[in-house]
Amino acid sequence: MTTRLSPYRELAWTAWREVIREPLVVGLSIVFPLCFVAMFAFLPDVSLAPGEPEVSALTFGLPAVWLMGIMSLALTGTSAPLTTLREKGVLRALGLTPVDKLTFLAALLPARLVVCLLEGVLILILSALAGVMSIADPLLLLWAFLLTFAVNMALGCFLGGLMKSSQLVGGLSGVLVPAVLILSGVILPLGIFPPVLKTIAEFLPFTYMGDLLRHAIAGVPAEFSVTVSSAVLLGSCAVLVVLTLATFRWDERDA
């Protein structure tokens, strides 16, 4: 037991130092989303669907803000560093040690979980100060957050294991994050989507993240049941983990 935990602890501590000394990672994951909290606080109330009661723009936008921060950490703060380490040959050297892929990738998670929790706490504090924050179901919100974190980190590790350059990850992040936020219904209500876009949204796990987060935060009726959303997100996470372990490369020459 001790011999297996020791490398994990060392790698987890290294990952923590990497995260806290990289201002871009912390900025994109915490500071940038907080700016959107301020923006949503000054927007007018929105209706989720015709005939339904309006909710504050900040309450509606919180899932988008939270998801934006977690996705940024998964891509810019996880995928990009992994590709950089591979480019520099660090992963190649690590691959020659007894450390396996699962141990190495799992060690990346604790530091990133702390950053995401800090982001979430700050978002909720600012929302409370704005006078529009009332969590409908705290336990469900925690569950939705953990599922959102797990799926996004699995995606970040998967892309980090495949991408050939950190610049490519940066370009993908610049396109993927806004596209996901729009198509998944976390910025625009699904009720106003045309049928084609709504069908596409139902195939995106991010749609279920936003729906679950908004239901837990605002108590508005969910598009999908908690059971369905949880099953989709757990299944998505499992698929991404399997794909990551099957495709992750220590060395570019392994491609």
Residue 240 clears pLDDT 90, i.e. is over it: yes
Yes or no: say if 213 and 141 are a contact pair by the CB < 8 Å rule.
yes
Residues of the chain above pLDDT 90, percent: 25
Burial of 244 (0-12, 13-18, 19+ CB in 10 A): buried
Phi/psi for 188 (5° steps) reads: -110, 135
Residue 1 clears pLDDT 50, i.e. is over it: no
Yes or no: say if 54 and 45 are a contact pair by the CB < 8 Å rule.
yes
CA distances from 223 to 4, 35, 81, 186, 190 (A): 43, 28, 36, 12, 8
Dihedral sign for Cα 155, 242, 186, 226, please: negative
Residue 244 is predicted with a pLDDT of 95
What tens digit of pLDDT does each residue of 136-174 get?
788 999 999 999 999 999 999 999 988 887 778 878 878
Strand partners, 47: 54
SS3 of the chain: helix, strand, coil, percent, to 5: 75, 0, 20
Domain residues of the chain, as ranges?
Answer: 2-254
Mean pLDDT of 10-36: 73
| Cα distance between residue 150 and residue 147, in whole Å | 5
Residue 193 clears pLDDT 90, i.e. is over it: no
Mean pLDDT of 6-32: 74
